[in-house]
Amino acid sequence: MCGIVGILGRHQVAPIILEALRRLEYRGYDSAGIATVNESRLDRRRALGKLVNLSDLLVHDPLPGKAGIGHTRWATHGAPTVANAHPHRAGRVAVVHNGIIENFRTLRAELAQVGLAHESDTDTETIALLTRYYMDQGMAPQQAAFATLDRLEGAFALAFLFQGEDDLMIGARQGSPLAVGHGEGEMYLGSDALALAPLTDRITYLEEGDRVVITRAGAQITDAQGRRANRPLTRVALDQAMVDKAGHRHFMAKEIAEQPAVLGAALGFHTSPEKTALALPEGLNFTSTDRLVLVACGTGHYAAQVAKYWFESLAGLPVETDIASEFRYRQPVLGARMSAVFISQSGETADTLAALRHVQGAVAQTVGVVNVPTSSIAREADIALPILAGPEISVASTKAFTAQLMVLLLMALKAGQDRGHLDAGAVAGHLATLQRLPGLMRAALDREGEIADLAQGLGGVNHALFLGRGPMFPLAAEAALKLKELSYIHAEGYASGELKHGPIALIDEMMPVVVLAPRDALFAKTVSNMQEVLARQGRVVLVSDRAGLAEAGPVPESLVMPQVPDLLAPFVYAVPAQLLAYHAALVRGTDVDQPRNLAKSVTVE
Ligand code: F6R
């Protein structure tokens, strides 16, 4: 979603805000803008498209001032245009916003009646105009901003800046995250601590409904009831090396390559020092759980679908998986013997957070499987399980997916143990198998050259299918999602056995069909389905190990993967899925880290 930053500084802020926006650009890149206060002037610069355009604009038309706000936009209301770019300004106030104001049409009509017309199609300009209206009525800036906030419905993180007020910035959080940064004689606001990383490591996270009045001397927070609130100041350790490309061409390439280390670290963190027993939080217990629901969006949902196989086979636990945006609006049957797990890299995805809130108090336990430990889902779930993937900057999720799988698998082992399906020895056996994972991931990464060659063949196609059975079925869906979002090739993931029930009609010599098939118990069946494709001149690419490729017989194209234990296949086969999409994007020349129309951390419904 949109990224927000605000600085009350000691130096010229526009270049510093620009740098901070660079670290937030993954949240949206339809347009960007900065407003500053300089002596008695409030001025702004806005540019369409990526941040580089704003940066070019500022070279020719600098923006002086030591107080400023900035924004990088993912369009919701109004097309990506300069007029719709933030900051929005009305009279003496400028505003940047992440989220959606649901009652903006009503407010807009009210403002039109008093002669305050909009210049943009956005809901954000309504906030600026309403604040202007209150200021025109004689209210002081803070009073006007607070009166405006009282009228807003929806989800937002906001920062206000006022003409003539070089030492004042107001922030508000309702449904979208906002952090306050404390510097030396400087203060900051940011959508996340990452944006503020080089400026300060001292962060206060605002809570739901909080408003903050910031001057260079500090921050005064009031809660949703208008009471003064003391929110803890935390030290955030963000190693700069974790947020740069470390010599890789793209963040995605770096994040794919990090997986062996990330998975090793996550396994180490969640197991005993000898790595023979689980070391998950005390409170996590499945003894009185007889039903589990796993809820997430996008890639997290495919991780959930893989995990369903594990919870069922290792723990005998019935599992439902659902997309958060569907789960929250149907009437899911909840109960005291049900546990609910919410999987989210960002921990801020609006639908997943709303789904969590929907079940609070109506299930035995809620568990957040998150990458950002300070996120809303981490804070609001009964138990937060960190996946420890480190900052994921590329919009397409890669290392967070396999790290989610790791934590979900460890949870499934815990459920197996709690429910008497696995004894300590069996768990230790599975953990020993998991120890092999970093090495096997490295072996899969070593196939990058061959995968890049295969991707050449995808450069000119418009459609592709991915097939898999068992846990390879959701993996096929994840592989298709990666290809779609990175290369804009239309792709679908199907259960191998389902192909003949319809999609086989799509098969012709133009249709690449990538079959993800380790040599497991279901292999022969998958091969039969593959033969059905070959018989119709489909362009099969078989991804399997040596034994599988030998057994399958001749296929037009193949990729040799390392031999893997069944439990590890979804992790290891994620690597070719990710690299195929990455290299297809390179072939087609699309924007790898920031694909069109997308944004990371989707904080609107
Ligand atoms: C796909 C992708 C998205 C996210 C989804 C959920 O590569 O990244 O599908 O998985 O938007 O995001 P989180 O995990 O932050 O809730």
pLDDT digits (tens, 9 = 90+) for 180-217: 999 999 999 999 888 898 899 999 999 999 999 999 99
Stretch (H or E) spanning 141: helix 141-151
Q: What is the DSSP letter of 393?
A: -
Measured CA to CA, the distance from residue 115 to residue 534 in angstroms comes to 68
Is 90 exceeded by the pLDDT of residue 40?
no
Q: For residue 179, what pLDDT band results from cuts at 50, 70 and 90? A: very high
Nearest to 519 by CA among 466, 475, 573, 481: 573
SS3 category, 45: strand
Burial tier of 56 (Cβ tally within 10 Å: 0-12, 13-18, 19+): exposed
Stretch (H or E) spanning 422: none
Mean pLDDT value across residues 313-328: 96
Lining ligand 1 with CB less than 6 A are 297-300, 344-346, 349, 352, 396-397, 481, 485, 601-602
| Angle separating helix axes 472-487 and 569-588, nearest 10 degrees | 20
Q: For residue 599, what pLDDT band results from cuts at 50, 70 and 90? A: confident
* Ligand 1 centroid distance, CA of 225 (Å): 33
* Ligand 1 centroid distance, CA of 300 (Å): 6
Measured CA to CA, the distance from residue 593 to residue 251 in angstroms comes to 6
Q: Strands (DSSP E) along 151-236, which ranges? A: 154-162, 165-174, 179-182, 187-190, 202-205, 211-215, 218-222, 228-229, 233-235
Is 70 exceeded by the pLDDT of residue 241?
no
Is 70 exceeded by the pLDDT of residue 240?
no
Cβ atoms 516, 545 nearer than 8 A: no
Mean pLDDT value across residues 162-174: 97
Please name the residue whose Cα sits nearest to atom 3 of ligand 1: 298
| Angle separating helix axes 259-269 and 424-435, nearest 10 degrees | 160
Ligand 1 atom nearest to CA at 404: 14
* Ligand 1 centroid distance, CA of 251 (Å): 16
Please name the residue whose Cα sits nearest to atom 16 of ligand 1: 344
**Dmax over Cα atoms in the chain, in whole Å?**
82
SS3 category, 268: helix
Return the sign of the alpha-carbon dihedral for residues 370, 375, 378, 380: negative
Measured CA to CA, the distance from residue 302 to residue 482 in angstroms comes to 11
* Ligand 1 centroid distance, CA of 343 (Å): 10
Residue 373 C-alpha from the chain's centroid: 13
Pocket-testing residue among 256, 397, 401, ligand 1, by greatest number of atoms within 8 A of Cβ: 397
Strand 291-296 relative to strand 338-344, pairing: parallel
Cβ atoms 365, 321 nearer than 8 A: no
The active-site residue, picked from 2, 297, 399, 484, is 2
Ligand 1 atom nearest to CA at 377: 16
Measured CA to CA, the distance from residue 13 to residue 35 in angstroms comes to 10
Nearest to 575 by CA among 479, 472, 463, 477: 479
Cβ atoms 164, 172 nearer than 8 A: no
* Ligand 1 centroid distance, CA of 398 (Å): 10
**The two three-digit tokens of residue 513, written as one number:** 């069909």
Q: Please give the mean pLDDT across all residues of the chain.
A: 94
Residue 68 C-alpha from the chain's centroid: 27
C-alpha gyration radius of the chain? 25
Is 80 exceeded by the pLDDT of residue 600?
no
pLDDT of residue 237: 75
Phi first, then psi, for residue 579 (nearest 5°) are -70, -30
pLDDT of residue 181: 97
Give strand pairing partners of 516. 543
Please state whether the peptide bond connecting residue 87 to the residue before it is cis, i.e. omega within 30 degrees of 0: yes
pTM to 2 decimal places = 0.89
Pocket-testing residue among 306, 369, 602, ligand 1, by greatest number of atoms within 8 A of Cβ: 602
**The two three-digit tokens of residue 507, written as one number:** 């098969």
Ligand 1 atom nearest to CA at 296: 16
Amino acid at 412: A
Query: Considering only 267-271, 289-293, 301-305, 552-556, which range has the smallest mean pLDDT?
Result: 552-556
Phi first, then psi, for residue 292 (nearest 5°) are -130, 140
Q: For residue 242, what pLDDT band results from cuts at 50, 70 and 90? A: low
Burial tier of 138 (Cβ tally within 10 Å: 0-12, 13-18, 19+): exposed
Nearest to 131 by CA among 155, 107, 153: 107
Burial tier of 407 (Cβ tally within 10 Å: 0-12, 13-18, 19+): buried
Instruction: Give 152-176 as a DSSP string.
Output: --EEEEEEEEETTEEEEEEEEEEBS
Pocket-testing residue among 251, 321, 349, 377, ligand 1, by greatest number of atoms within 8 A of Cβ: 349
Please name the residue whose Cα sits nearest to atom 10 of ligand 1: 299
Measured CA to CA, the distance from residue 268 to residue 175 in angstroms comes to 34
Task: Give the angle subtended at the CA of 499 by the CAs of 495 and 505, to the nearest 5°.
Answer: 150
Query: Considering only 53-57, 371-375, 477-481, which range has the smallest mean pLDDT?
Result: 371-375
* Ligand 1 centroid distance, CA of 296 (Å): 8
Please name the residue whose Cα sits nearest to atom 4 of ligand 1: 298
Please name the residue whose Cα sits nearest to atom 9 of ligand 1: 298
Enumerate residues 6+ apart whose C-beta is below 8 A from 140.
none
| Angle separating helix axes 298-315 and 399-418, nearest 10 degrees | 30
Q: Is 600 a catalytic residue?
A: yes
The active-site residue, picked from 66, 254, 482, 600, is 600
Enumerate residues 6+ apart whose C-beta is below 8 A from 88.
94, 95, 96, 97, 120, 122, 124, 125, 127, 128
CA distances (Å), origin 550, targets 5, 409, 513, 532, 579: 56, 30, 19, 18, 24
Q: For residue 87, what pLDDT band results from cuts at 50, 70 and 90? A: very high
Pocket-testing residue among 294, 295, 297, 402, ligand 1, by greatest number of atoms within 8 A of Cβ: 297
* Ligand 1 centroid distance, CA of 395 (Å): 8
Question: Virtual CA dihedral for 114, 116, 122, 128, nearest 10 degrees?
Answer: -100
Q: How many CA atoms lie within 13 A of 233 on its CB side?
A: 9
Mean pLDDT value across residues 338-356: 95
Please name the residue whose Cα sits nearest to atom 11 of ligand 1: 298
Enumerate residues 6+ apart whose C-beta is below 8 A from 19.
198
Percent of all residues in the chain with a pLDDT value above 70, rounded to a whole number? 99
Helices (H), 318-398: 324-327, 350-359, 376-380
Measured CA to CA, the distance from residue 170 to residue 37 in angstroms comes to 14
